[in-house]
């Protein structure tokens, strides 16, 4: 793996995000020459922990600026692009659909169009999601199922996914699509998400809150396994002629939101009982992925079991909170997304 990435010129969007910071750090460790596009300087991001950010090229700008993206790809002689940037919170998408469509859809076609115009780009990985599939009666999702999102966030991922496919089928752009389950791990500071939100509530001796009825079934993937999956897919694209293909990545650990919350409570030795609000009515009931294609073609499987990843995650937050002076928040801010 290291020999493949050493001195390779890589462009990452969304590097200050939860997943993007992990992928960027891994690329730096593999001695790639990394350039990132950053819209806002987020000093709390994992990207700025340690010295990783001192070893990368940082370009400040927006996914809406096609000329800027083209210049960055050209000036830094980019060979590989990881497009991770997105508005990634379903609740925010519901409240502000236009900004979500702008970031997730227009941002994707700008990246792909800039790559199409640049002959040096040899591989592109576009981040999609299990949400792109929308609701299906038959589960688990496999890569041949239609993309039929209905709610704003789901639709934005369906559209971005289809646009990536368009650029391959129409222009033969060397792009692959990654569809992951819910990513988790240390460093996710969006506490509206179920895992970090629940951990913080318990650490603060507050009752965890579940917004749904607790029966929603979801798929989860430890963030370090996701980073390895993206790197492996990019490495094997050319050799295995994978351009145009989509791959699911998951730990195949399927838990209801209530069971997940109870598991965190148990691992943190907490006897509190979660409060179930049963307020959320616009969520897909069950979503989970098959990784058979990734297993067969890429030889990929997660390194960490779900419990191992969750234990690592809890330990990260305990250390983070111990160093943070003020972690108290209003209870309403601690509602989990499900």
CA dihedral 211, 212, 216, 221 (to 10 degrees): -10
Mean pLDDT of the chain: 92
- Reported as a pLDDT band with limits 50, 70 and 90, residue 332 is very low
Outline where DSSP puts E strands in the chain: 9-13, 33-38, 57-60, 80-83, 123-127, 175-180, 182-184, 209-210, 217-222, 246-249, 253-256, 275-276
Q: Which domains does the chain have, with CATH numbers?
A: 2-183+219-249 (3.40.50.720), 190-218+253-284+304-334 (3.90.25.10)
The yes-or-no verdict on residue 187 having pLDDT over 50 is yes
Backbone angles phi, psi at 79, to 5 degrees: -100, -40
pLDDT tens digits for range 242-265: 999 999 999 998 999 999 999 999
- Residue of 195, 187, 213, 188 whose CA lies nearest to 280: 213
What global pTM score does this model have?
A: 0.93
pLDDT at 284: 85
Minimum mean pLDDT among 38-42, 197-201, 203-207, 303-307: which range?
38-42
Cis amide leading into 273 (omega within 30): no
- How confident is the model over 64-75, as a mean pLDDT? 97
Distances (CA, A) of 84 to 18, 37, 63, 158, 302: 10, 10, 11, 15, 20
Instruction: Please give the pLDDT value at position 336.
Output: 42
Over residues 64-93, mean pLDDT: 93
Residues known to be catalytic = 153
Summarize the confidence of residues 36-40 as an average pLDDT: 88
pLDDT one-digit tens code per residue, 19-35: 999 999 999 999 999 99
CA 138, CA 141: separation in Å to the nearest integer? 7
């Amino acid at each position: 793996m290291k020999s493949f990435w050493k001195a390779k010129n890589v462009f990452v969007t969304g590097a200050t995000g939860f997943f993007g910071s992990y992928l960027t750090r891994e690329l730096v460790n593999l001695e790639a020459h990394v350039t990132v596009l950053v819209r806002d300087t987020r000093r709390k991001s994992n990207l700025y922990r340690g010295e990783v950010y001192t070893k990368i090229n940082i370009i400040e700008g927006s996914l809406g600026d096609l000329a800027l993206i083209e210049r960055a790809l050209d000036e830094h002689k980019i060979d590989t692009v990881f497009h991770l940037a997105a508005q990634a919170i379903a609740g925010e998408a519901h409240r502000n659909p236009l900004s979500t469509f702008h970031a997730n859809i227009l941002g994707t076609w700008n990246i792909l169009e800039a790559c199409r115009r640049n002959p040096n780009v040899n591989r592109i990985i576009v981040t999609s999601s299990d949400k792109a599939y929308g609701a299906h009666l038959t589960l688990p999702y496999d890569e041949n199922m239609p993309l039929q999102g209905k709610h704003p966030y789901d639709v934005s991922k369906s559209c971005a996914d289809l646009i990536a496919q368009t650029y391959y089928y129409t222009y033969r752009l060397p792009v692959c699509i990654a569809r992951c389950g819910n990513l988790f791990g240390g460093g996710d500071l969006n506490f509206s998400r179920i895992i970090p939100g629940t951990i913080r509530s318990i650490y603060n001796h507050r009752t965890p809150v579940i917004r749904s009825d607790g029966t929603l079934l979801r798929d989860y993937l430890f963030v370090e396994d996701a980073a390895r999956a993206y790197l492996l897919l990019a490495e094997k694209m050319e050799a295995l002629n994978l351009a145009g293909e989509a791959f699911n990545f998951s730990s195949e650990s399927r838990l209801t939101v209530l069971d997940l919350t109870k598991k965190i409570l148990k691992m943190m030795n907490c006897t509190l009982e979660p409060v179930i609000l049963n307020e959320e009515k616009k969520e897909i009931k069950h979503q989970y992925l098959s990784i058979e294609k990734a297993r067969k073609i890429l030889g990929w499987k997660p390194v960490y079991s779900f419990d191992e990843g969750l234990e690592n995650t809890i330990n990260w937050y305990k250390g983070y909170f111990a160093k943070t002076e003020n972690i108290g928040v209003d209870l309403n801010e601690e509602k989990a997304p499900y």
